[in-house]
Structure 1
């Protein structure tokens, strides 16, 4: 991400002309949003993440029990119209908590609501039939479906004598699917390894170096990876708590079903250090993306702690945009209050933005969210140049790529309207503001200079007219 100083000229005749021409313009509220039902096909730039889809995290913690797959199925057409290109589902298999579980305590990796175990036949979200219907509906609407995969630990086993601990442990798993039976030999400690990268909450910790484990997860023809992709037709995978096991596990899982060209993958490497995120992606040999926690924490500091210069912080999207999944909140953490500005940031910058179900469906204005999704898919292309950076104002320019014209996004952390002269890439062209925050439509000077404005504690997004 390169930087360019903003252009702040004196009181020249050109400036006066601009001010006179703008003085009659009304500073409107955020209304008259860009349409959400007329999306263009855009070129994808792998180097910057330009033109990427928008993902929906299609759940939140403790969703209603019994019919979640059906709830999502009914929302698919509207999400398609809004520009959502993929949905991330919660762990869909039977867990120790049965009908109450959110799936992160996995018991039977092949029971999607078909076997009566853990006190229930369906999972919290529904049965295998309703899951299959959801996936089919999504695909019929050109929406990809990503499965949440929990590979660090298991839960719900019965007691057995464990020679490696000299105690009895809950490590005997005999799932009714008859698949991936486990004993103490498949967990830590065992005869080849005392521990791996990390355990979680005292749950039995899978040993991925054991043949029984690796065969059932990705190696064998009957493995989870192949069943999930080839039989259930998942298009990608979100890997939970990847700090708990080696990145090579994710690499092998992805490669077992065709590699990054065939499936999408993203890991939950919960780390606010962008270098550590990049190191994890590198350790997967670029087979997986990572959630950009560095961006997540920088946005919290910028928008909630009133220091927009924190948007200059190092982020995965600035190091490796094609492998950065950006987000504002999720089922585990929700620390940002100024969510509209945060969503405006991830929708105008590189990376693969993820929208949180509860934000989109329950907490925020859906029209404003759809507007930002439209902007991401139709305007936000190319590399980023910083035009202005201060605690109370921040301006970035996306430089455009292919059919995407680029944009200028202006954030304001003050109590007053602000305006700045900036240098655009649209010399001689007419531009407008695409969120409804301003109805100025200036003509850019031949050298690219133009005056733009932004409301208090908000954002404005500018690009060429006629789109």
Structure 2
């Protein structure tokens, strides 16, 4: 079986002339050819800001760009028909489609309702700062453009545990809705800010059995309608784990072939919290390794002062490699975004080698690194900035090398602060497989490392880093490899 390689097929500012669903369909053959096995699509349903939305302010999960709602029929990425066609073509080419699922909140209610609320301290949501009082808020969702097609369920104030806007008072705040399911927040994995159930917009009340039932019906409808083979779950640290495991179990029972599931639990401080989440969910889902991303960001910033022997220290891929999706950057960490922590360009090829060419974890490539991106937005000071992210040199070659050559026993040489490496011995089933990787964050590097005695006498060349010499494996199966300063080399067997 070929190595798995995911791609996040969007970024926050996707602004190309070609709609995303059409572009993905047109690129399917190329993506399959270089070794992409799964594609993570952005949220496909109608959002509060209509065709302008990236998708994380969901309004109607049943509207995939089909109904005239929120001032648009199509979403930012195209029509329902184009989405279905993209999924069909990609999966016919062997690329599994992973759908982004945003359960935490809804936005853009259609009607006002009166309800009893209490305000909470934003820094400690467990602390109430008022007695109960009445406000009016946009909590009724009746989806007038869809008119009950696919689902007649109407969302109202009983479907939400919190909101951030009182329409009658024209006031923002964090309001805990006082309903029959409890005056306080749901139990969620994150204890940041006391209880991090409330994130934004209208916070969904998963203690309401009617909400849970509708989301299960939606899940079945979504798969039957579109046929995706996986899910990316958004913002899981803010969502009842009891609900998510119940929903995933329901989907597994409805579709016994199962799904690839990866969750976003953004955390750059506590490995223990990510480990606890994996234990709590009992292997039902993988997690993105935000801690490894943190290490990449620090390594790029600190340059030769960063100790490369610690690059995998306190990361999920080190402790739970079979349940980890690794990445270099994503739409939240890219320049001008809220969690901006973009890995500097000089280190990006090395970061990609560290996720693509090793045994542990399933790597996820970021769209701009494959296609480039140019966009403008305001920075934290409110100043307009133009960002240009280049196509990353060597990335396509590394994805291809992962597909064809990155197999077999891995030997690690994470033994020098400024120069580390590893080898993959190769396997008989993959002709020509096997490789050696060396990278340096300082001066030119070299290292004697073992390839395996079965490769004695074979010649290896650098496919990525620009070294021109040839290296021969000696009779004991060892060879000395080299890399340029602040660079990497990927040594593969020379073709006869």
TM-score, with length taken from structure 2: 0.78
Change (3 A) 1:250 1:464: farther
CA spacing shift, 1:277–1:403, aligned 2, 3 Å: farther
Indicate the SS of the match to 1:290: strand
Q: How far off its partner does 1:465 sit?
A: 4.6
Alpha carbons of 1:312 and 1:90: their partners in 2 closer, same or farther (altered >3 Å)?
closer
Matched, 1:430 2:461: no
Alignment correspondent of 1:38: none
Q: Which residue of 2 aligns with 1:132?
A: 84
Pair 1:360–1:442, CA change in 2 (3 A): same
2:251 & 2:402 partners in 1: Cα distance?
30
Query: 2: CA distance between counterparts of 1:107 and 1:66?
Result: 24
Check 1:280–1:382 CA distance in 2 against 1; reply closer, same or farther (3 A cut).
Answer: farther
Distance 1:296 1:261, change over 3 A: farther
The CA distance in 1 between the partners of 2:332 and 2:312, in whole Å, is: 25
Give the superposition deviation at 1:401: 6.0
Paired residues for 1:58-457 under 5 Å:
58-64=9-15, 67-157=19-109, 158-164=111-117, 166-176=134-144, 177=146, 178=148, 179=151, 180-188=153-161, 189=177, 190-193=179-182, 194-196=184-186, 197=188, 198-218=196-216, 223-258=217-252, 262-272=258-268, 273-306=270-303, 307=306, 308-334=308-334, 335-337=342-344, 338-349=347-358, 350-362=360-372, 363-365=389-391, 368-382=394-408, 384-398=410-424, 400=426, 403=429, 405-415=433-443, 417-427=444-454, 428-436=456-464, 437-457=466-486
In 2, distance between residues paired with 1:201 and 1:312?
30
Out of 117-126 and 63-72, give the one that drifted further.
Answer: 63-72
Structure 1 residues 92, 402: closer, same or farther in 2, change over 3 A?
farther
Q: Secondary structure at the match of 2:202?
A: coil
Asked whether the 8 Å contact 1:93–1:113 carries over to 2, the reply is yes
Q: Does 1:461 align with 2:486?
A: no
Separation (CA, whole Å) in 2 of partners of 1:214 and 1:153 = 13
2:460/2:472 contact within 8 Å kept: no
Deviation at 1:153, TM superposition (A): 0.7
CA deviations over 1:200-224 (Å, ceiling 9, x no partner): 5541111112111111112xxxx12
Aligned twin of 2:7: 56
Quote the Cα distance in structure 2 between the aligned partners of 1:284 and 1:401. 34
CA contact (8 A) 1:77 1:141 kept: yes
* Deviation, structure 1 residue 354: 0.8
Say whether the 8 Å CA contact 2:113–2:136 is kept in structure 1: yes
Deviation at 1:433, TM superposition (A): 3.3
Taking structure 1 as the reference length, the TM-score comes to: 0.82
Higher strand share: 2
Q: CA deviation at 1:279?
A: 1.9
Instruction: State the match for 2:339 in structure 1.
Output: none
- Distance in 2 separating the partners of 1:200 and 1:400: 49
Alpha-carbon deviation of 1:62? 2.7
CA contact (8 A) 2:57 2:106 kept: yes
The CA deviation string for residues 162-184 of structure 1, in whole angstroms up to 9 with x for no partner, is: 13552222211112432342111
Between the aligned partners of 1:136 and 1:388, the Cα distance in structure 2 is 43
Change (3 A) 1:82 1:367: farther
Unaligned runs of 5+ in 1: 1-42, 44-50
